[in-house]
Amino acid sequence: QVQLVESGGHVVQPGGSLTLSCAASGFIFSDYGIHWVRQAPGKGLEWVTFIETDGRQKDYADPVKGRFVISRDNSKNTLYLQMNSLRNDDTAVYYCVRRERASLSRTYYYFFDYWGQGTLVTVSS
């Protein structure tokens, strides 16, 4: 079965760095674009970043642009999120999410069909 397992969440001081990992199994990892979505305590869902199947196309939400770097190793079925210059408002549960697509009436629709269990990043002094 499809599984996404995040790890690396920790307590880190403001200005610090952290790298999250997401281990994928149960599907052909290199066939899927993968996203990171975060959720601050008691708040809603916020899209963070995306990486395409071959790792060449990436995109970032404005709040993390220039500070976070997404990457993937298809040989290891693993996704990474390097987080630098961390701020208090980066505190959140970070989810690794698989992007799926469906074809309806010759139009492709994209959605998040599998989510990891999340890993908590706490930025605090």
Partner 1 sequence: DIQMTQSPSSLSASVGDRVTITCRASQSISRYLNWYQQKPGKAPKLLIYAASSLQSGVPSRFSGSGSGTDFTLIISSLQPEDFATYYCQESYTTPRALTFGGGTKVEIK
Interacting residue ranges for partner 1, rule: CB under 8 A: 33, 35, 44-47, 50, 52, 57, 59, 61, 95, 99, 102, 104, 109-113, 115-118
CB of 39 to partner 1, least distance (A): 8
Q: CB nearer to partner 1: give 16 or 33.
A: 33
Q: CB nearer to partner 1: give 52 or 87.
A: 52
Q: CB nearer to partner 1: give 42 or 75.
A: 42
CB of 35 to partner 1, least distance (A): 7
Q: Compute φ and ψ for 64, nearest 5 degrees.
A: -115, -5
CB of 92 to partner 1, least distance (A): 13
CB of 111 to partner 1, least distance (A): 4
Rounded CA gap, 49 and 57, in Å?
A: 11
Q: CB nearer to partner 1: give 13 or 102.
A: 102
Rounded CA gap, 76 and 115, in Å?
A: 19
* Positions of E strands within the chain: 3-7, 11-12, 18-25, 34-39, 45-51, 58-60, 68-73, 78-83, 92-104, 107-115, 119-123
Q: Contact 40/106 with Cβ under 8 angstroms?
A: no
